[in-house]
């Protein structure tokens, strides 16, 4: 498995499927890997499940605090990342919470 440092995405080939960067490196256990992007309400639910399962995570917001205050939190989205060592366990959590969407987002 290869890792794109720019996108923080896992790739099967040494070229990133998202940004096109080539010559990717092998993924390492501590690499923060993109898990999923969700609206605030669903992301917070997933974060709670990750915490309950002792899965470390980080997240970024799509709009930032200033814009979210201006247009409202309903439009905010979180991108959630987990260390590669926990990616399968985290994907299982996503599959359990979001059964209908999980196959298209994780595979």
Q: In the 8-state DSSP scheme, what is residue 20? A: -
Residue 16 main-chain phi, psi, to 5 deg? -70, 130
For domain 31-106, which CATH number applies: 3.30.70, 2.40.160, 1.10.287, 3.40.720?
Answer: 3.30.70
Domain ranges in the chain are 1-29, 31-106
pLDDT computed for residue 26 by the predictor: 97
> With 90 as the cut, is the pLDDT of residue 16 above it?
yes
The pair of three-digit structure tokens given for residue 70, joined into one six-digit string: 């201006």
Q: Model pTM? A: 0.82
Interhelix angle for 87-97 vs 99-106, to 10°? 140
Are 5 and 54 in contact by the 8 Å Cβ rule? The answer is no
For the sheet containing 58-61, what is the strand order? 32-39, 77-83, 58-61
CA angle 83, 85, 91 (to 5 degrees): 80
Are 49 and 93 in contact by the 8 Å Cβ rule? The answer is yes
Mean pLDDT to the nearest integer, 47-57: 98
């Amino acid at each position: 498995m290869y890792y794109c440092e720019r996108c923080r995405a896992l790739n099967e080939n040494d070229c990133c499927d998202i940004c096109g960067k080539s010559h990717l490196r092998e993924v390492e256990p501590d690499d923060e890997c993109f898990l999923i992007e969700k609206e605030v309400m669903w992301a917070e639910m997933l974060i709670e499940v990750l915490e309950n399962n002792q899965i470390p995570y980080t997240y970024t917001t799509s709009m930032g605090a200033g814009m979210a205050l201006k247009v409202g939190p309903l439009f905010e989205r979180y991108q959630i990342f987990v260390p590669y060592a926990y990616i399968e366990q985290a994907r299982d959590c996503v599959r359990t919470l979001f059964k209908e969407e999980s196959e298209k987002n994780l595979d």
